[in-house]
Amino acid sequence: MILTLSCPDQPGIVARVATTLFERGANILDAMQYDDEETGRFFMRVVFDPGEGDRAALHEALAQVGEQYSMDWRLRDRKERRRVMILASQQDHCLADLIWRWRQGELAMDITAVVSNHPDTTYPHTDLKGIAFRHLPITPQTKPEQEAQLWSLIQETRTDLVILARYMQVLSNDLTQKLAGRCINIHHSFLPGFKGAKPYHQAHARGVKLIGATAHFVTADLDEGPIIEQDVERISHRDTPKDLVRKGRDIERRVLARAVRGVLEDRVLLNGSKTVVFSG
What's residue 194's pLDDT?
62
Whether pTM exceeds 0.85: yes
Q: Which of 50, 47, 41, 48 is nearest to 71 (CA)?
A: 41
The span from the CA of 97 to the CA of 254, in Å, is 9
Alpha-carbon dihedral angle through residues 160, 230, 268, 37, given to the nearest 10 degrees: -150
pLDDT interval class at 197 (50, 70, 90):
low
Residue 223 falls in the annotated catalytic set: yes
pLDDT interval class at 192 (50, 70, 90):
low
Helix (H) or strand (E) holding 74, with range, is: strand 72-76
* Topology annotation, domain 82-277: Rossmann fold (3.40.50)
Bridge-based pairing state of the strands 109-116 and 133-135: parallel
What's residue 196's pLDDT?
65
Q: Among residues 92, 97, 160, 223, which one is catalytic?
A: 223
pLDDT interval class at 48 (50, 70, 90):
very high
Residues carrying CATH 3.30.70.260, the chain: 2-76
Residues carrying CATH 3.40.50.170, the chain: 82-277
Cα dihedral sign, 56-58-64-68: negative
Domain 2-76 classification at class level: alpha beta
